[in-house]
Amino acid sequence: MPELTEEIKDALKGISMIKSATFMNGFLNIDLNRAMFANEVIKTINKEKETYAQEASKGKTICIDYSAPNIAKSFSVGHLRSTMIGNALKNIYRKLGYNVVGINHLGDWGTQFGKMIVAYRLWGNKELVEQNPITELQKLYVKFHEESEQNPSLEDDARAVFKSLEDNDEDVLSLWKYFREESLKEFMMMYELLNVSFDSYDGEAFFNDKMEPIVQMIEEKNLLVEDDGAMIVRLDPLPPALIKRRDGATLYITRDLAALFYRKKTYDFDQVLYVVGNEQKLHFEQLKAVTNLMGYDFDIKHVNFGLVLQDGKKMSTRQGKVVKLYDVIQEAIKEAKNQILAKNPNLENQESVAKAVGIGAIIFNDLKNDRNLEVDFNLSQMLAFEGQTGPYLQYSSVRIASILKNQTVLDSFDSSIYEGDLYFQLIKDLAQFNQVLTKAAEQNGPHVVSRYLLQLSSNFNQFYGQHKIIVEDEVTKQANLNLIRAIRYVLNEGMRLLGMTALEEM
Ligand code: ARG
């Protein structure tokens, strides 16, 4: 042991950033050269182009499957969560140097289209549907469920219609196409508002003609078993996976299997992340189990998340109680605008600032806690300028922008000032950014970034409360300016990764 400690001490001596190293009670105490360390940290951030790419990410491809709303139904709060978590993960992985493919596995196929088409043919009002497609279709869907309770044969009709859709019946197909197009219009409007995009929109329908070879593969491996006319794969102790119904129609999992093999062939992924709510846990366990039995060991992960609650209750689209997310977002923007105008009536670009604040508030509210926890949806709380909110982060960054305004920041500065404790706390925070990103990726948890940004903002605001930034002494002033500029850069970059927009003014 003593030799070892001497050896370590000797090795550390060569590192100029370490002032001294001592062993005490089995612990190694390293005294850092704070000024030198600080200088490194700020210089690195100033480079801006620093990619944070790591060895581990080199040449690695990750498919992220997120958002995936269902056609002819409204965009649910669950899909909004998936959209924002997936989008943040995509940004974080890209920043770390991974090749990321963002996939929107649209729910545009399945028995529900049989139901929808049966309902439309029985009760649909063409004009009403044309005026307000999603709302009307949603109502028809709800009606189908109510009616089929009295009249179970409707379910058989729906299955038959879906089967004819899979068999490319022209009339059914053209209705389906119409539903799909109208839904996509609404979804795209939402994505544009949220500033979210995808590399692929290959949804379930895309795999209609790609399932047969997979089913054959399963059969060749002797895994396909007939069960009361249907085709299943036994997965004891898990419940069996239903691959084909009695009438030959395929299922959600059949399409997910086809999608997985297609993605392997197309993107040669190293990993696939499925950002989908907790309620589909079994589905992804089955997906993995079937591929394992087939002899593949794909690295697939269900990135699950908790519910969104409003006033302690599940926010849902069931029982015809449709929470239109587009409207909710517009309301947030309107409320953000009122708040901003109360604070800063002469603000320019009010519309775009209100949009950034309103949407940023919703995004941050969703990403601030561990994704497994439930999210409380309370507009006035998430829009507050104080507390753990999106506007608080934006406001901290804007504060820095206003100090930097009309100042010239020189790239050379004296870092000895940063040795003081309050300064050095901020330096330590800044130095953590890289590790924070790695940890967020390891946990698939955007909240790691969120918590970090809250801490950085709060430490900055505390510092600002105690320190004058623009001081007479030019050397101190330059050190101050360099520090806050680096803080703003990290805040803005962190917000961008979460999907928020940083502002100059608010
Ligand atoms: N459309 C599905 C739903 O709303 C989510 C799809 C998730 N992705 C997947 N590959 N299964 O429940």
| pLDDT of res. 1 | 61
- Model confidence at 311: pLDDT above 80: no
Q: What is the pLDDT of residues 346-405, one digit of tens each?
A: 999 999 999 999 999 999 999 999 999 999 889 999 999 999 999 999 999 999 999 999
The reply to whether 307 and 410 lie within a common domain is no
Q: How far apart are the CA of 441 and the centre of ligand 1, in A?
A: 22
User: Which amino acid is it at 289?
Assistant: A
The reply to whether 74 and 51 lie within a common domain is no
Q: What is the pLDDT of residues 248-283, one digit of tens each?
A: 889 999 999 999 999 999 999 999 999 999 999 999
Q: In the beta sheet, which residues pair with residue 102?
A: 64
Between residues 31 and 355, which one has the greater pLDDT? 355
The reply to whether 46 and 107 lie within a common domain is no
Q: What is the pLDDT of residues 181-217, one digit of tens each?
A: 998 998 999 999 999 999 999 999 999 999 999 999 9
Q: What share of the chain is helix, strand, coil (3-state, %, to 5)?
A: 60, 10, 30
Residue 180: which pLDDT band, with cuts at 50, 70 and 90? very high
Q: How would DSSP label each residue in 363-416?
A: HHHHHSS-TTS-EE--HHHHT-SSSSSHHHHHHHHHHHHHHHTT-PPPS---GG
Residue 429: which pLDDT band, with cuts at 50, 70 and 90? very high
Q: What is the pLDDT of residues 318-346, one digit of tens each?
A: 444 556 788 889 999 999 999 999 999 99
The reply to whether 72 and 191 lie within a common domain is yes
65 lines ligand 1 (CB under 6 A): yes
Q: How far apart are the CA of 158 and the centre of ligand 1, in A?
A: 21
Helix (H, G, I), strand (E, B) or coil at 23: strand
CA 68 to CA 190: how far, in whole Å?
Answer: 13
Which amino acid residue places its CA nearest to atom 1 of ligand 1? 107
The reply to whether 151 and 53 lie within a common domain is no
Element (H, E) at 320: none
The reply to whether 355 and 461 lie within a common domain is yes
475 belongs to a structural domain: yes
The reply to whether 450 and 486 lie within a common domain is yes
Q: How would DSSP label each residue in 384-396?
A: -SSSSSHHHHHHH
Q: Ligand 1 test: best mutation among 280, 303, 304, most atoms within 8 Å of CB?
A: 280
Closest CA relative to residue 252, chosen from 79, 68, 84, 63: 68
Mean pLDDT in the chain? 92
276 lines ligand 1 (CB under 6 A): yes
Give the CATH number, domain containing residue 299.
3.40.50.620
CA 257 to CA 261: how far, in whole Å?
Answer: 6
Q: Domain range holding 348?
A: 344-498
- Count how many domains the chain has: 3
The reply to whether 313 and 453 lie within a common domain is no
Residue 21: which pLDDT band, with cuts at 50, 70 and 90? confident
Ligand 1 atom closest to Cα of 283?
11
CA 468 to CA 162: how far, in whole Å?
Answer: 69
The reply to whether 306 and 173 lie within a common domain is yes
- Model confidence at 4: pLDDT above 80: no
Beta strands per DSSP E along 124-245 = 224-227, 230-235, 238-244
Give the CATH number, domain containing residue 452.
1.10.730.10
Which amino acid residue places its CA nearest to atom 6 of ligand 1? 68
459 lines ligand 1 (CB under 6 A): no
Exposure of 46 by Cβ count < 10 A (0-12 exposed, 13-18 middle, 19+ buried)? middle
333 belongs to a structural domain: no
The reply to whether 25 and 112 lie within a common domain is no
| pLDDT of res. 361 | 97
222 belongs to a structural domain: no
Residues 395 and 389 sit within 8 Å (Cβ to Cβ)? no
Q: How would DSSP label each residue in 320-355?
A: G----HHHHHHHHHHHHHHHHHHH-TT-SSHHHHHH
The reply to whether 18 and 166 lie within a common domain is no
Q: What is the pLDDT of residues 292-307, one digit of tens each?
A: 999 999 999 999 999 8
87 belongs to a structural domain: yes
Lowest mean pLDDT among 50-54, 85-89, 195-199: 50-54
Average pLDDT over residues 64-71: 95
Average pLDDT over residues 11-36: 83
| pLDDT of res. 310 | 79
Q: Rounded to 5 degrees, what are φ and ψ at 504?
A: -90, -35
- 201 DSSP 8-state letter: -
Q: How far apart are the CA of 143 and the centre of ligand 1, in A?
A: 23
Which amino acid residue places its CA nearest to atom 5 of ligand 1? 68
Residue that is last in its domain, among 319, 354, 382: 319
257 belongs to a structural domain: no
Lowest mean pLDDT among 20-29, 463-472, 486-495: 20-29
Residue 50: which pLDDT band, with cuts at 50, 70 and 90? low
| pLDDT of res. 320 | 47
Ligand 1 atom closest to Cα of 280?
12
Q: Ligand 1 test: best mutation among 73, 105, 106, most atoms within 8 Å of CB?
A: 105
Helix (H, G, I), strand (E, B) or coil at 418: helix
- Model confidence at 482: pLDDT above 50: yes
Residue 418: which pLDDT band, with cuts at 50, 70 and 90? very high
Q: What is the pLDDT of residues 123-173, one digit of tens each?
A: 999 999 999 888 899 899 999 999 999 999 999 999 999 999 989 999 999
The reply to whether 48 and 77 lie within a common domain is no
Dihedral sign computed on CA atoms, order 324, 327, 333, 334:
negative
